[in-house]
Amino acid sequence: MTLTRRNLLRMSATLGLGALLPGAIRASTSGPQLLTARVSDVQLAPPDYPKTQIWGYDGKMPGTLIRVKQGDRVERRFVNDLPQASSVHWHGLRINNAMDGVAGLTQDAVQPGETFDYDFTAQDAGTYWYHAHNRSMEQVARGLYGALIVEEPEPVDVDREELLILDDWLLNPETAQLDTEFETPHDRSHAGRRGNYIATNGSSGTELPVKVSERLRLRLINAANARIFELDLSGFDGWVMAYDGMPLDEPEKVEGSFLLAPGQRMDLFVDVTAVAGEVAHLVRIDDDEGFSQAAFPVAPAENSARMRETPNPLPPNPNMSVPGVQTARRFELNMEGGAMGRLQSASLNGKEMSFRELVAANQFWSFNGVVGMTDTPLAQLSSGETARVSISNDTVFPHAMHLHGMHFREILDDGELGPLRDTLLVFGGETREIAFVAGEPGKWIFHCHMLAHTSSGMATWVNVT
């Protein structure tokens, strides 16, 4: 067939139809948008390596970006095309408990071939993420996560923004395939699963060109199973604008390195201070050595460069009640266990077991002498009341404690309240206290976000009625 203009037209019409039809059918039955978890091969390692088989939302790494405006309704039909049951948790959102996505607590796991409709309103602006919440230790390590960005009602004063999702992958150095030993007793009893290939947005060569003096918003998300990232800025002046989605009352100047624990997010505003031809970096510090976590080659600015003032704070999110610390009910959470810990015995499924018996059951950690979730919540609260929880880490490992559905504030040594957060990093030997106002009724899991710890003892819950 010769390619006349007419043939071309006919061809594109045919192709067009073929390509458009499924979408058209979907649109006309007007179900919610799909979010499909499936197996796929992606170029994760550098281009000279084979592709890596992952589990991804819509087969992508990172999973499909969900970006909405504050106050928007988010509707997604989760389709499970995986060989394993799954569920989706919307990390950091104030949400109806039935939509929180915790398999076994707020919903049944969605079986292979089944669907579940998530439907909620994004009431808070900020940087959030979503990830699998069934067998998370395996499913998040396989790639089941994506970003959920909720825009402020008015555009913020930056030239542009970049999303940087940090992760480490445990890959076979020859085949670039994932190590699928997800349940190793070593990972569970020590610091968790740590990768040997560190990536930003699913690539180790992330390059984002910038211009002299540009102001960027960087949205950082730590999606790793267990790695605590120590980060620094080079060629930028920066301010922390928000932690875990929630704006600070006053931006905090970045002076030196900072930590981002699993599950945590940070919004930074950064001004390019490097000159044209240089490269600015988000630096990762490993064992006192600096590596580029993301590179920002600097091009000349078209207009004469202007340096800006300290940024104004982001607008606060609505209805964040200040915890009434004085009258709050007090709870304690004592963490024990792990390798090199002092745990002698703890209760598992209602039975007191020696540490040796727990090890045989692949369980290693306890909260208040109890291993894993039971029918008894850590705290029974009524909506609107303030709780304070003193968390003592009587283990030799750091733990990133994440509370679902509510942000908390740390009660600092001077009695002041720290910033709103949903995940708090508590180092071995430390005692830290948090306070929060009980929000939506429901069962809210409170667990360590080192995912090998979650499944080997470090989970409890808070019941709000």
Provide the binding-site residues for ligand C2O, judged by CB under 6 A: 89, 91, 131, 133, 263, 402, 404, 445, 447, 449
Choice from 453, 457, 461, 464 touching Cu ion (CB under 5 A)? 453
Q: How many CB atoms lie within 10 A of CB 324?
A: 13
Is the Cβ of residue 103 or residue 295 nearer to ligand C2O in the bound state? 103
Helix, strand, coil content of the chain in percent (nearest 5): 10, 45, 45
Is the Cβ of residue 89 or residue 407 nearer to ligand C2O in the bound state? 89
Work out what residue 447 binds among Cu ion, ligand C2O, none; the CB cut-off runs from 5 to 8 Å by kind: ligand C2O
Work out what residue 284 binds among ligand C2O, Cu ion, none; the CB cut-off runs from 5 to 8 Å by kind: none
Least gap, CB of 16 to ligand C2O (angstroms): 41
Least gap, CB of 261 to Cu ion (angstroms): 10
Is the Cβ of residue 298 or residue 458 nearer to Cu ion in the bound state? 458
Work out what residue 453 binds among ligand C2O, Cu ion, none; the CB cut-off runs from 5 to 8 Å by kind: Cu ion
State the number of binding residues for Cu ion (CB under 5 A).
Answer: 5
Is the Cβ of residue 233 or residue 371 nearer to ligand C2O in the bound state? 371
- Neighbour-count burial for 266-296, b at 16+ CB within 10 Å, e otherwise: bbbbbbbbbeeeeebbbbbbeeeeeebbbbb
Is the Cβ of residue 122 or residue 448 nearer to Cu ion in the bound state? 448
Contact 352/344 with Cβ under 8 angstroms?
Answer: no
Residue list 387-406, contact with Cu ion (CB under 5 A): 399
Q: Which residue is nearest to ligand C2O (CB)?
A: 91
Pairwise CA distance, residues 267 & 161, whole Å: 10
Choice from 343, 448, 451, 462 touching Cu ion (CB under 5 A)? 448
450 binds Cu ion (CB under 5 A): yes
Pull the structure tokens for residue 433: 């206290």
Work out what residue 135 binds among ligand C2O, Cu ion, none; the CB cut-off runs from 5 to 8 Å by kind: none
Least gap, CB of 226 to ligand C2O (angstroms): 13
H or E element at residue 16: helix 5-29
Q: How far is CA 226 from CA 219, 372, 454, in A?
A: 19, 18, 11
Least gap, CB of 402 to ligand C2O (angstroms): 5
Is the Cβ of residue 235 or residue 439 nearer to ligand C2O in the bound state? 439
Q: How far is CA 113 from CA 30, 60, 226, 279, 409, in A?
A: 20, 19, 30, 47, 41
Contact 422/91 with Cβ under 8 angstroms?
Answer: yes
Is the Cβ of residue 188 or residue 388 nearer to Cu ion in the bound state? 188
Is the Cβ of residue 89 or residue 421 nearer to ligand C2O in the bound state? 89
Please tell me whether residue 334 adopts helix, strand or coil conformation.
Answer: strand
Contact 379/293 with Cβ under 8 angstroms?
Answer: no
Q: How far is CA 222 from CA 147, 161, 201, 246, 377, in A?
A: 11, 17, 11, 16, 28
> Smallest Cα–Cα separation from 294: which of 219, 237, 370?
219
Work out what residue 443 binds among ligand C2O, Cu ion, none; the CB cut-off runs from 5 to 8 Å by kind: none
Least gap, CB of 119 to ligand C2O (angstroms): 19
188 binds Cu ion (CB under 5 A): no
Q: How far is CA 116 from CA 42, 99, 107, 112, in A?
A: 26, 10, 10, 11
Least gap, CB of 139 to ligand C2O (angstroms): 12
Determine the residue type at 227.
Answer: R
Burial class (CB in 10 A: 0-12, 13-18, 19+), 37: buried
Work out what residue 227 binds among Cu ion, ligand C2O, none; the CB cut-off runs from 5 to 8 Å by kind: none
Is the Cβ of residue 76 or residue 190 nearer to Cu ion in the bound state? 190
Least gap, CB of 369 to ligand C2O (angstroms): 22
343 binds Cu ion (CB under 5 A): no
Q: How far is CA 315 from CA 98, 245, 251, in A?
A: 28, 12, 11
Which residues bind to Cu ion, rule: CB under 5 A? 399, 448, 450, 453, 458
